[in-house]
Amino acid sequence: MLVREIVKIFLEDAPQRLRDGRAGAKAGDMDATRRAAHSLKSTAAALGAVELKALSERIEQLAADNQGAAVGALLDRWDSSFAAAERQLAAVIAGESA
């Protein structure tokens, strides 16, 4: 099923995007953080991960505005939001309802 494949790819790719975003924030590279957040935002929206999409969008905006402290304050929530989305989306891969 195509949806399962898309979800699988997202779940494999997203942790690296989170690491890239966090590393960018730590290094003061807000462009790297912005790009990582943008990538997660788009796919999270397509998969219905509403909270992850909203946080990614907020981080993308803050990073674009070079607000590193504000980005840093959201990184743990970003990780937690992905973890929640991951649990729900894993059910799609398993063939259960999300």
Which domains, ranges and CATH numbers included, belong to the chain?
Answer: 2-93 (1.20.120.160)
Q: What is the pTM of this model?
A: 0.91
Please write the tens of the pLDDT for every residue from 6-59: 999 999 999 999 999 999 999 999 999 999 999 999 999 999 999 999 999 999
CA–CA dist 29, 22 (Å, integer):
10
Residue 59 contacts residue 66 (beta carbons within 8 Å): no
SS3 (DSSP) at 49:
coil
CA-wise closest residue to 55 among 32, 27, 85, 96: 85
Q: Which secondary structure element, helix H or strand E, spans residue 98, and what is its range?
A: none
